[in-house]
DNA sequence: GGCGGCGTTAGACTTTGTCTAATCATCATT
DNA sequence: AATGATGATTAGACAAAGTCTAACGCCGCC
């Protein structure tokens, strides 16, 4: 994602532009990927950036709320942020910890169950757990 | 689940019986439910039990590995253990934090995507996020 | 009775993320 | 230009969940 596209996305989602938010977005939204807050901080440090830990967490929470990135719940010890915003599912390799995207079209989700009384749907998360085949 | 059934399950899954493990199992496996480690510790304390925090965590990890309970990844701040062992999916109410079981039959999972090279499947987790309808 | 192997335990410790209070930046008003 | 309001950023304290360590208990076996 280019700088221009990021600015456009911020604007469309009502996120005020700041240098720090742009730095975080430039790393996370660079390409389709799944990163933890800590990985993002490491990469910021690698590029010499001084954005604080608090701001990185604030920013990632904001990105999650505003739909600029997606928070994936797959590892109980850390939150993973997904730069791919469109609807999709995931493979989760328990051996490597890697996440891989599954396009919506690749899964056929037929019948959906009735929702509990007085609730409305927010979304469906599908995680297919896999492991390396030991030959 | 009765005490007898628990002993049988321990035996079948190769889990050595100890008083502490039985206490934890008696609480978690009593009925279909979703509990955090902290909730289990609270209930143990309520019944006057002195099982240590370390043993509760050890035991829940063991139960997870041995298939005596299922670990649900839905809330990044705490692990949830599910007493229902059979294959099923979940509603997750983001307003209340409640989990509700979805029987396998209620979801039609048609086409499954091709797995990444050199991997084999472990299982499919489906979480349907819902929220309370504000009228 | 002594030994070996687990399981349990208290409490220290680690990791992830949040909070607080101070500072900074931006913008509008005078 | 100064003032003030508002919101973002920051360092570091803090909180919460879970793991680790080292000591101790228990039990079966020699
Ligand atoms: Mn790091
Ligand atoms: Mn509690
Ligand atoms: Zn993804
Ligand atoms: Zn369940």
Q: Which two tokens stand for residue B102?
A: 């979805």
CATH number of residue B56's parent domain? 1.10.10.10
Burial class (CB in 10 A: 0-12, 13-18, 19+), A45: exposed
Q: What is the pLDDT of residue B112?
A: 78
Output the tens digit of pLDDT for each of chain B's 135 residues: 999 999 999 999 999 999 999 999 999 999 999 999 999 999 999 999 999 999 999 999 999 999 999 999 999 899 999 999 999 999 999 988 999 999 888 777 767 788 999 999 999 999 999 999 987
Quote the domain boundaries for residue B49: 3-82
Residues β-bridged to residue B88: B103
Residue B29 within any structural domain of the chain: yes
Residue A126 within any structural domain of the chain: no
pTM of the model: 0.93
Residue A94 within any structural domain of the chain: no
CB contact under 8 A, A128 and B124: yes
**Domains held by chain A: number:** 1
Residue A121 within any structural domain of the chain: no
Measure B94 CA to nearest chain A CA, in Å: 9
Residue A25 within any structural domain of the chain: yes
Side-chain-facing half-sphere of A72: CA atoms under 13 Å: 27
Q: What is the pLDDT of residue A73?
A: 94
CB contact under 8 A, A126 and B126: yes
Q: What is the Cα gyration radius of chain B?
A: 17
Helix or strand or coil: residue B132? strand
CA B45 – ligand 2 centroid, Å: 10
Q: For residues A129 and B70, what is the distance between their CA atoms, to the nearest angstrom?
A: 14
Residue B116 within any structural domain of the chain: no
Residue B15 within any structural domain of the chain: yes
pLDDT along chain A (135 residues), means of 10: 96 97 98 98 96 98 97 94 95 93 81 89 93 87
pLDDT 10s digits, A96-109 = 899 999 988 877 77
Cβ contacts of A74 on chain B, cutoff 8 Å? 73
Residue A92 within any structural domain of the chain: no
Q: What is the pLDDT of residue B104?
A: 86
């Amino acid at each position: 994602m280019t700088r221009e596209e990021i600015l456009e996305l911020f604007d469309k989602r009502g996120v005020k532009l700041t240098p720090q938010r742009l730095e975080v977005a430039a790393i996370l939204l660079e390409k389709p990927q799944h990163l933890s807050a800590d990985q993002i901080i490491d990469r910021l440090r690698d590029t010499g950036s001084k954005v604080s830990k608090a701001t990185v967490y604030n920013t990632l929470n904001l990105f999650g709320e505003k739909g600029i990135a997606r928070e994936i719940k797959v590892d109980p010890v850390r939150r993973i942020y997904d730069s791919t915003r469109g609807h999709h599912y995931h493979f989760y390799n328990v051996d490597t910890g890697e996440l891989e995207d599954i396009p919506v079209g690749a899964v056929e989700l037929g019948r959906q169950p009735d929702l509990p009384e007085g609730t409305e749907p927010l979304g469906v998360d599908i995680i297919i757990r896999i492991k390396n085949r030991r030959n």
